[in-house]
Amino acid sequence: MPWNTDPGLFLGEVEPEGRPLWSIEAPVPDGETWVPLRQLLGELGDDQLKAAVRAIELASWRNQHRFCGVCGTPTRQRETEFAFECPRCDTEFWPRVTPAVIMLIHRGDEVLLARHARSPGPVYSCVAGFVEAGETLEEAVVREIDEEVGVRVGKPFYLGSQAWPFPHALMAAFLVPWASGDPVPDGHEILDARWFRRETLPQLPPGISIARRLIREFFQDPEI
Ligand SMILES: [Zn+2]
């Protein structure tokens, strides 16, 4: 195989056999078709998905930290842990994970879903956004909701989290009770926002996404 295994990244061992797992960057072999990870969501098992997410995030981090951001010297990877260091000024560079919040706003038996400008087709999903510097998760929830759909909400209830490697987000998911105001899409990131009941749910994001899990948990319906 004409694959370049240098620089490969050792990801860990696959249980239960303890086989070593590496990620490498490689050209697509003749006769094969490779697809972006996003297209495989829902088809990979949990362990495969976890390994793929880790591989993509670490490869991206490595590619973006080949040189020290302080003094420009080429960095080197530590042998014992996932970190790069600068041999000249000792600055450390750790894998990059970016916190983001995603929330399902609910009112009685309805949920507020939004059509995002970035989404393919007529998919409606939860409101989401990145946490800003100096902000708590709860403050980010309230701010993003206000900016994107313009309603006031009550106290966020934390549901769970998911690594989302597009490019390196850690999504923290919340159920959030509506308090007041009609939804007004910002017209930029959000094209439409409206209330849906269980029986009128529109096309939703992939089943494996935490957005879908929020909707499933709210309606207590494993069929969603
Ligand atoms: Zn340096």
- Span 81-95, average pLDDT: 92
Between the CA of 22 and the centroid of ligand 1 the distance, in Å, is 28
Q: What is the pLDDT of residues 21-54, one digit of tens each?
A: 888 888 888 898 888 888 887 788 878 888 888 8
CA–centroid distance, residue 58 to ligand 1 (Å)? 20
CA 89 to ligand 1 center in whole angstroms: 4
| Pair 169, 130: CB distance under 8 Å | yes
Q: How far is the CA of 74 from the centre of ligand 1 (A)?
A: 8
Q: Do domains 4-93 and 98-219 have the same CATH topology?
A: yes
Question: Is the pLDDT assigned to residue 16 strictly greater than 50?
Answer: yes
Question: Residue 7's pLDDT is what?
Answer: 62
> How far does residue 116's CA lie from ligand 1's centre (Å)?
40
Angstrom distance (rounded) from CA 24 to CA 7: 7
* Domain spans of the chain, in order of start: 4-93, 98-219
Instruction: Look at the chain and count its residues.
Output: 224
CATH T-level topology, domain 98-219: Nucleoside Triphosphate Pyrophosphohydrolase (3.90.79)
Compute the distance from residue 85 Cα to the ligand 1 centre, in Å: 8
Q: Identify the CATH number of the domain defined by range 4-93.
A: 3.90.79.20
- The mean per-residue pLDDT over the stretch 184-196 comes to 94
The alpha carbon of 31 and the centre of ligand 1 are apart by a number of angstroms equal to 43
The Cα 189–Cα 118 span in angstroms is 7
When pLDDT is averaged across residues 53-77 and rounded to a whole number, the result is 90
| Residues 92-137 pLDDT 10s | 999 989 999 999 999 999 999 999 998 878 999 999 999 999 999 9
Q: Tell me: the pLDDT tens digits for 192-206?
A: 999 999 999 999 998
Confidence (pTM): 0.84
- Residue 154 contacts residue 174 (beta carbons within 8 Å): no
**β-strands 157-164, 169-180: how paired?**
antiparallel
With a CB cutoff of 8 Å and minimum separation 6, the contacts of 105 are 111, 112, 127, 145, 149, 151, 153, 176, 177, 178
Q: Work out the mean pLDDT of the chain and round it to a whole number.
A: 89
- Read off the pLDDT of each residue in 201-215 and give the average, rounded to a whole number: 92
Mean pLDDT of all residues in 152-175: 93
Distance 82 CA to ligand 1 centre (A): 18
